[in-house]
Amino acid sequence: MVANYDEVYEVNVTSGADLISNVYVDGPDIHTFTAPMLGASLDSTVANTLTWDRGEAAQAATFRDDGNGNGGGGGGNGGALAISDTGSYSIPALTLRAQADQPTTNTLRIVRSNTVVPKGAVAGSTVSVGVSNELDVVALACTGC
């Protein structure tokens, strides 16, 4: 992980007498969330749509929530779920962490990445560049959750 994002990276690896050089990985462009808005209050008992703007689709994308809700979404336990980088994902009902007596903050994350297989590298070698963005939303208090 690096402090800034340059999108294109050059990778050079030396391991003993082995050398892989001039491997370029073009990462995805930075995405921005369009819905829901930062801090939005959501009903965790229904599906909620998460949308984002991006220039081009990444090779891979994952959705992750930090909750421990009862549903599937990002695993409900902070696990990453592979999704298509279409710019939209329907968060299943009961995915957001919610409490019966008070609103609960949830952090939603989309990680988009591109990967290359370095020519001449050991079988199974890959280099990936990804960009992660997160959004805090509030799950409304719910009854029977």
Q: Is the pLDDT of residue 74 over 70?
A: no
* Percent share of the chain, pLDDT over 70: 90
- pLDDT for res 72: 46
CA count, 13 A, side-chain hemisphere, 75: 13
Domain that holds residue 62: 8-139
- pLDDT for res 76: 47
Q: Is the pLDDT of residue 78 over 70?
A: no
State the CATH number of the domain containing residue 83: 2.60.40.10
Q: Is residue 144 assigned to a domain?
A: no
Does residue 96 contact residue 106 with C-beta atoms inside 8 Å? yes
d(CA 108, CA 81): 12
Q: Is residue 116 assigned to a domain?
A: yes
pLDDT tens by residue, 53-72: 999 999 999 999 875 444 44
Q: Is residue 65 assigned to a domain?
A: yes
Q: Is residue 1 assigned to a domain?
A: no
- pLDDT for res 66: 78
pLDDT tens by residue, 85-114: 999 999 999 999 999 999 999 999 999 999
Amino acid at 68: N
Residue 145 has which token pair?
């959750």
Q: 134, 112, 139: which is closest to 7 by C-alpha?
A: 112
Q: Is residue 2 assigned to a domain?
A: no
76, 95, 48, 74: CA torsion to nearest 10: 20
Q: What are phi and psi of 112, to 5 degrees?
A: -115, 135
Q: What's the total number of domains in the chain?
A: 1
Can you tell me whether residue 86 is helix, strand or coil? coil
What predicted TM-score, i.e. pTM, was given to this entire model? 0.83
Q: Is the pLDDT of residue 73 over 90?
A: no
Over residues 38-60, mean pLDDT: 97
Q: Is residue 107 assigned to a domain?
A: yes
